[in-house]
Amino acid sequence: MSTVVMTGCATGIGASTRKALEAAGHKIIGIDIRDAEIIADLSTAQGRKQALAQALEQSGGMLDGLVLCAGLGAQFRPVGKVVSVNYFGAVELLDGLLPALQRGKAPAAVVISSVASAHLPWEKNPLAAAFESGDEAAAQAIVSAAGEQGGNLAYAGSKNGLTVAVRKRVTAWGQAGVRLNTIAPGATETPLLQAGLQDARFSESIAKFIPPMGRRAEPAEMASVIAFLMSAAASYVHGAQICVDGGIDAQMRPTQF
């Protein structure tokens, strides 16, 4: 039985993915703020340190897989925590668990990004320099100073930075024998989306965010793609970002791919 660490396993896409991976025979070590094997707050340096230490302890220092689902939406306050969880929490676990993944069997990692990652290009991302230098306080300050746009900047900026961080790691991870990919979900029926719909600042834009397929995704539709990427069927897929969005990215950016 292979061992997989998963963040954000308690709800939404993470909960569905856990179910799919367990059905495929994987043992899951979950990390979340509740209902998980490891209870940790990935928005803080101490929480991330705790999560890493416990993940290594519970896995015996050897992992076959890693799935990073933990994330906060644009409506979350304070906005600084959005960049802390979505970017710094994910990248720290990626780097911290790579040695354990190298010891695993046919290891693979999948990171949950977003279609929003392509809406704010890296060269125009105000958070890029802070991400590059690992300056979490600076990134938090930038989104906090952005006023009404702070939530959208924190979300799109952090997801853009996360996809870039994954893509910049593909050479080192490939040489280490560990496949690494992202998926970019569109609007998905999760508690995160429902929280956005209930927020007057974001409800209208979310309600109008309907893809060409005419409906939002179910979490299980994300989980099935993640399960594929974690499987031997995806043995040569590395460094890819797969849009699982009902066609919204193609509709919005038909000439960019």
Known catalytic residue at 155: yes
- Reported as a single tens digit per residue, the pLDDT across 16-26 is 999 999 999 99
Residue spans per domain, the chain:
3-245
203 confidence band (pLDDT: 50, 70, 90) = low
Q: Residues near 232 by Cβ (< 8 Å), separated by ≥ 6?
A: 106
Question: 202 falls in which pLDDT band (50, 70, 90)?
Answer: low
Report pLDDT digits (tens) over 61-95.
999 999 999 999 998 999 999 999 999 999 999 99
**Which among 76, 88, 155, 173 is annotated as catalytic?**
155
Domain 3-245, CATH among 3.40.50.150, 3.40.50.720, 3.40.50.300, 3.30.420.40: 3.40.50.720
| Chain position carrying tokens 């076959």 | 64
What DSSP string runs through 139-188? HHHHHHTTGGGHHHHHHHHHHHHHHHHHHHTHHHHHHTT-EEEEEEE-SB
Closest by alpha carbon to 5, among 88, 74, 87, 68? Answer: 68
What pLDDT was estimated at residue 216?
81
Distance CA 69, CA 114 (A): 11
| pLDDT, tens digit (0-9, with 9 covering 90-100), for 143-164 | 999 998 999 999 999 999 999 9
Task: Report d(CA 131, CA 120) in Å as an integer.
Answer: 14
Give percent of the chain above pLDDT 90. Answer: 85
Summarize pLDDT for 107-136 with one digit per residue, the tens: 999 999 999 999 899 999 999 999 999 999
